[in-house]
């Protein structure tokens, strides 16, 4: 397995604005790295450049310290799994998986063994002779993954591999892909616009915006300490709170609160709905609010509360019985009100 080093990649298509702008990234050996970003931000373009299906305008790519930019796709030891699977309908499952191995000159017993090992990894051992159109969507997805794994790529590239599956199957496959990558210490770069997918599966991740990296780190770092409003909002619900920022505090119409993080250049406070709690009136940091709306989800409720002139969304797990219009007291979890740029 390889480490991946991407240095200042730029890419524009003839027609328009830059798609990737000096994008730099390091993925460690055996790491499952996620690129998360909205549609059109350049995720697929970056994967296609890594696979050698597209050429960058400038910048360098190294696998295990070796520059691969000038190598054709088949020499790069990268395997890509596409969103639409791109399987051959006229070939059996076995032949679909064997395809890349045959190109590498592998045949006979060794070929059989490698195909079988890939089929075992995706738990499709019994399907080798089936034809692809006769498989379910979930099974086709596994075949596509097996085909990518079969060549034992140094780097596995996954482009929104689960977006065509229904919700239940998607959950199962998320776990499967993590398991397979861990078992094989597979270096993998996984592209998605689905934040749940990235947060639940990634070892580390980067948020992409307009062809640039907005922030990178572990899922927890990015979720709990977003570097800017875009990352904060892209990774989950978040309250932005206007106020005056001075001496590390946010002065609002409903109180003054200690901010976490760098306050220089910050323009607002931000806090996630699950980090605001209903509190007793005598709680030292409690502030008064009015309950203006609520939605019950069973395991939690989402409330809208007005504090001063600010509307706050509050997520309460194991929700209590509350009435719209009720006066309540709220408190921010210590350390979770962030200074935001
Ligand atoms: P994502 O995968 O994040 O949704 P893409 O990498 O597919 O985004 O596309 C990024 C931008 O580049 C889009 O605006 C898209 O229209 C443009 N683009 C992608 N491929 C080409 C191409 N072959 N020719 C022209 N424009 C392209
Ligand atoms: Mg894409």
Give the tens place of pLDDT for each residue, 27-36. Answer: 999 999 999 9
> Residues lining ligand 2 (ion), CB within 5 A?
44
C-alpha–C-alpha distance, residues 307 and 176, integer Å = 45
The residues spanned by each domain of the chain are 4-230, 238-340
Q: What is the pTM of this model?
A: 0.92
One fold for 4-230 and 238-340? no
Instruction: Please tell me the CATH code under which domain 4-230 is placed.
Output: 3.40.50.300
Helix (H, G, I), strand (E, B) or coil at 137: helix
- pLDDT of 16 > 80? The answer is no
Q: Which helix (DSSP H) or strand (DSSP E) does residue 81 occupy?
A: strand 78-81
> In this predicted structure, what is the pLDDT of residue 303?
98
Mean pLDDT of the chain: 94
C-alpha–C-alpha distance, residues 39 and 246, integer Å = 37
- Binned at pLDDT 50, 70 and 90, residue 166 comes out as confident
Mean pLDDT of 106-118: 94
Instruction: Please tell me the CATH code under which domain 238-340 is placed.
Output: 2.40.50.100
Closest ligand to the CA of 83: 2
Residue nearest (by alpha carbon) to ligand 1 atom 2 = 44
> In this predicted structure, what is the pLDDT of residue 237?
97
C-alpha–C-alpha distance, residues 209 and 65, integer Å = 27
Q: Which helix (DSSP H) or strand (DSSP E) does residue 110 occupy?
A: helix 108-121
Which residues sit with their C-beta closer than 6 Å to ligand 1?
Answer: 13, 15, 19, 37, 39-45
Residue nearest (by alpha carbon) to ligand 1 atom 22 = 13
Summarised one tens digit per residue, pLDDT across range 276-308 is 999 999 999 999 999 999 999 999 999 999 999
Mean pLDDT of 64-76: 93
C-alpha–C-alpha distance, residues 209 and 339, integer Å = 20
Mean pLDDT of 179-190: 95
């Amino acid at each position: 397995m390889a480490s991946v080093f991407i240095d200042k990649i730029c890419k524009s298509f003839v027609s328009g604005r830059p798609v990737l702008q000096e994008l730099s990234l390091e993925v460690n050996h055996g790491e499952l790295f996620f690129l998360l970003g909205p549609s059109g931000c350049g995720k697929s373009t970056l994967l296609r450049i890594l696979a050698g299906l597209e050429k960058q305008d400038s910048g360098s790519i190294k696998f295990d310290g070796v520059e691969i930019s000038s190598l054709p796709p088949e020499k790069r030891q990268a395997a890509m799994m596409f969103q639409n699977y791109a399987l051959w309908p006229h070939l059996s499952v076995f032949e679909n998986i064997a395809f890349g191995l045959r190109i590498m000159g592998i045949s006979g017993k060794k070929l059989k063994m490698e195909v079988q090992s890939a089929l075992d990894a995706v738990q499709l051992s019994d399907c080798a002779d089936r034809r692809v159109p006769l498989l379910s969507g979930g099974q086709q997805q596994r075949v596509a993954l097996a085909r990518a794994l079969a060549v034992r790529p140094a780097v596995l590239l996954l482009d929104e591999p689960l977006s065509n599956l229904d919700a239940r199957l998607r959950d199962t496959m998320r776990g499967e892909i993590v398991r397979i990558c861990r078992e094989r210490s597979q270096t993998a770069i996984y592209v998605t616009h689905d934040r749940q997918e990235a947060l639940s599966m990634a070892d580390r991740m980067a948020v992409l915006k307009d062809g640039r990296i907005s922030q990178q780190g572990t899922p927890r770092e990015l979720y709990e300490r977003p570097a800017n409003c875009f990352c904060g909002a892209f990774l989950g619900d978040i309250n932005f709170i206007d106020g005056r920022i001075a001496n590390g505090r946010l002065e609002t119409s409903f109180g003054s609160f200690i901010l976490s993080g760098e306050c220089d250049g910050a323009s607002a406070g931000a806090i996630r709905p699950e980090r605001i709690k209903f509190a007793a009136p005598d709680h030292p940091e409690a502030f008064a609010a009015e309950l203006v709306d609520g939605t019950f989800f069973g395991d939690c409720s989402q409330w809208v509360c007005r504090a001063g002139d600010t509307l706050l969304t509050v997520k309460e797990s194991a929700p209590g019985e509350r009435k719209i219009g009720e006066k309540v007291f709220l408190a921010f979890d210590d350390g979770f009100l962030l200074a935001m740029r």
